[in-house]
Structure 1
Amino acid sequence: MKSLTRSMCWDLVTIKKDKINGIGAAFFRKPLSNDCYNERRHRSPPMCEENDDPNAAWYIPLKTCMHKIPTNESDRGSNWPQDWPRRLQDPPDWLSNSQAGIYGKPVKEDFLTDTEHWKNVVTKSYLSGFGINWALVRNVMDMQAVYGGFAAALRDQKVWVMNVVNTDAPDTLPIIYERGLFGMYHDWCESFSTYPRTYDLLHADRLFSRVRDRCPILTVVVEVDRIVRPGGKIIVRDDPSTVSEVETLLKSLHWEVQLTFSKGQEGMLSAEKSDWRPETFVY
């Protein structure tokens, strides 16, 4: 292990032994610059080709090569993020307002608008007006996270949030990680990699209308039913016709729809999973 990490330019910081079970732990530190990479006598493992995208992460085969440390100040990863909790609220330094954000504004303005939007929604609606006992909620998922604003708004709650970035959506997962939040890519036309009855609360903002062109909404609703524990909830925000379709499907699975709302092009639903299971099965 020491030989391999040395060849990768990682520094061995310290080796400690657990006083209780006697297990040893070694702590290594990744280099801050490319100096060591450039000075290596034996270039094994090799550096990746210049055209190899270090940000590619979905269905990408593993390679035995290393990417260089970014040196441009505008590149993600060139500087350490801001201290917590400031990094949660401020847009990353490497975002440039010359880029357009998801909602059409310059990306930093987009980020701040999204953060403020979800702060207001969570504070004024979700924490008080949806009948959710937050003392019973721990495992939360934002099924279509954009910048992670929903998760950031829950900072003061005793929950953790899995932020899911859809594979057919703009890649905002680096921003979510930069904020110090959890996240992953996923295609909701596929099964989600988790055990059944895992989550206490799911949040789906404009998710179902997005996936319906690629797969039936029914398949996603059934997957929702699989991963939510009995007594768990889902909050759906979408166009009214899509919300109505989701409501019908949830009722067919014996979910209790506790709130529905529609105004203009905005529909909303809150539902709770029951402990009902079918008595007969079709194989």
Structure 2
Amino acid sequence: MTPCIFPLQKVKDINKTSSGVLEKWPMRLNALPPRIKNENDNGFTLKVYNEDNKIWKKRVSYYSVMLKSLSYGGYRNVMDMNAGFGRFAAAMRKYQVWVMNVVPFDAKSNNLGIIYERGLIGTYMDWCDITDIILEMHRILRREGTVIIRDFKDIILKVKEITDRMIWEGGTLVKDDDHNGSSQEMIMIFNNTN
């Protein structure tokens, strides 16, 4: 359990919070988290944070075009399986959805504290083989639920091979143009028809 417990920063004054003063909700969702504002060991910078938020606002805007029912409440529960700074959840704020932010327990940067400082919910997860991940997604995905997978082409092709055997509908494949054509990521959308 030790790797799954998020350590709080040390404070000397009982009247101070461990990471700094937090804004009230909903302002804190878009306010600069104290762990980025203060010195940190993980190399999180204001520039990286702002660029990440900008990219995810653009991506969510694109998703809302692809998933028409997002705008009128067709989805309630969403999981971001590699939550970063909670950028996806923050960009989804205007939709009536609940987002669970998941941080891989072995991620290079431990940013679950930033997610909490933004007022979001998050957890660690020990993701295993891609086949196991897809099977778990299939188990929890409701009928007519949708999966958006954004990853590198080799992973997308492995996922497509697995989901074809599971009779998931779709497999719409789109190149990710977030970085002016320099990204090697692709997007695949599946619908669970079972």
What is the deviation of 1:136? Answer: 1.6
Q: Given the alignment, which residue of 149, 161, 165 partners 2:103?
A: 165
What is the deviation of 1:186? Answer: 0.8
Relative distance call for 1:94 and 1:248 in structure 2 (3 A) is closer
1:133 aligns with 2:69: yes
Structure 2 unmatched ranges of 5 or more:
177-182
Give the fraction of aligned pairs with identical amino acids, expressed as a percent.
34
Could you tell me which residue of structure 2 aligns to residue 248 of structure 1?
161
**1:133 aligned counterpart, secondary structure:** helix
- Aligned structure 1 segments of 4 or more residues deviating by more than 6 angstroms: none
Relative distance call for 1:239 and 1:165 in structure 2 (3 A) is same
1:84 aligns with 2:21: no
The 1-side partners of 2:23 and 2:52 are apart by: 19
Relative distance call for 1:141 and 1:132 in structure 2 (3 A) is farther
Q: After TM superposition, list the pairs within 5 Å mapping 1:44-123 onto structure 2.
A: 58=4, 70-71=11-12, 77-96=18-37, 99=40, 106-123=44-61
Aligned residues: 181
The 2-side partners of 1:94 and 1:59 are apart by: 17
The 1-side partners of 2:84 and 2:9 are apart by: 28
What is the deviation of 1:162? Answer: 0.2
Q: Residue deviations 1:95-142, cap 9 Å, x none?
A: 25754767xxx522211111111011111x1111x2341222001100
Structure with the greater alpha carbon radius of gyration: 1
What is the deviation of 1:143? Answer: 0.7
Q: Greater helix share, 1 or 2?
A: 2
Structure 1 unmatched ranges of 5 or more:
1-55, 61-66, 190-215, 276-283
The 2-side partners of 1:68 and 1:111 are apart by: 20
CA contact under 8 A between 1:91 and 1:112: conserved in structure 2?
A: no
CA contact under 8 A between 1:90 and 1:112: conserved in structure 2?
A: no
**TM-score calculated relative to the size of structure 1:** 0.58
Could you tell me which residue of structure 2 aligns to residue 222 of structure 1?
135
Quick one: higher RCO (CA 8 Å, sep 6+), 1 or 2?
Answer: 2
The 1-side partners of 2:19 and 2:112 are apart by: 17
2:140 alignment partner AA: I
1:177 aligns with 2:123: no
**1:231 aligned counterpart, secondary structure:** coil
